[in-house]
Amino acid sequence: MKKSKAVVLLSGGLDSAVTLAVAKAEGVLPHALSFSYGQRHAVEIQSAKKVARALGAKKHLVMDIALDKIGGSALTDAFAVPKDRPASVLSEKIPVTYVPARNTIFLSIALGWAEVLGAEVIYLGANAVDFSGYPDCRPEYIEAFERMANLAVKAAVEKRMHIRIRAPLIHLSKARIIQKGMALGVDFSITHSCYDPTPAGLACGRCDSCRLRRRGFQEAGLTDPLHYAS
């Protein structure tokens, strides 16, 4: 039987790599989509390319979109990425690393590509447990996007397809995500999580994303293969 196609949003980070592995395990033909959006950690695109190759994505499309023209985030602007924040504050409020409407923009472009490919599922590595600060990672947001998507595109309106947004990690802790990835053979040494890498591309070890990743590996009882600057 011919496999059905799916679009997988792939940042090059840990969560999206596991999501791609889940998509493969679920039997779809994954088409990976990454964005160069003016992020200070543009090195993640290189990781995305390695992950797409390693996990056998059928295609990998990298779209450029200069969200730094819009600004409003520590990831695209010149303001500082917070460091060494205690775990207790991580989920208290929406952090400055939030990028305005990022998942909406990425999912919209994924939606356009899905329609052209005839792919009925878009995989997204959103997670609402650890690091639950981002509003566009919550189940109610994802449901609302899916509803809108099925009113937006020709293929859905003509009833030839029904678009589904699948976020398989949404209720998992970082430790569980790492364990799942290990079980599916994800090579975490090629993933990139850091928001503020050194000029040489080394993970800082101190931003929220590095801290959550390290804690995740610790809680999972596994060794993080990444080298950190500190």
Q: Which of 190, 143, 147 is nearest to 18 (CA)?
A: 190
Q: Which of 190, 169, 200, 225 is nearest to 41 (CA)?
A: 200
Say if CB 217 and CB 180 are below 8 A apart: no
CA neighbours closer than 13 Å in the CB half-sphere of residue 110: 32
Q: CB 141 → a copy of itself: shortest distance, Å?
A: 4
Is 170 an interacting residue with respect to a copy of itself (CB under 8 A)?
no
Span from 14-22, 45-53, 64-72, 80-88 in contact with a copy of itself (CB under 8 A):
64-72
* Separation of alpha carbons 171 and 187, rounded Å: 22
Q: CB 72 → a copy of itself: shortest distance, Å?
A: 4
Is 71 an interacting residue with respect to a copy of itself (CB under 8 A)?
yes
Is 66 an interacting residue with respect to a copy of itself (CB under 8 A)?
yes
AA letter at 176: R
Take residue 15 and report the two structure tokens written for it: 């969560």
Residue span 2-41 as binding mask against a copy of itself, x where in contact by CB under 8 A, dash where not: ----------------------------------------
Is 99 an interacting residue with respect to a copy of itself (CB under 8 A)?
yes
- Give the Å distances, CA to CA, from 55 to 4, 75, 186, 207: 17, 27, 8, 27
Q: Which of residues 105-134 bind a copy of itself (CB under 8 A)?
A: 105, 107-109, 111-113, 115-116
Binding stretches for a copy of itself (CB under 8 A): 61, 63-67, 69-72, 94, 98-105, 107-109, 111-113, 115-116, 135-136, 138, 140-141, 144-145, 147-149, 151-154, 156-158
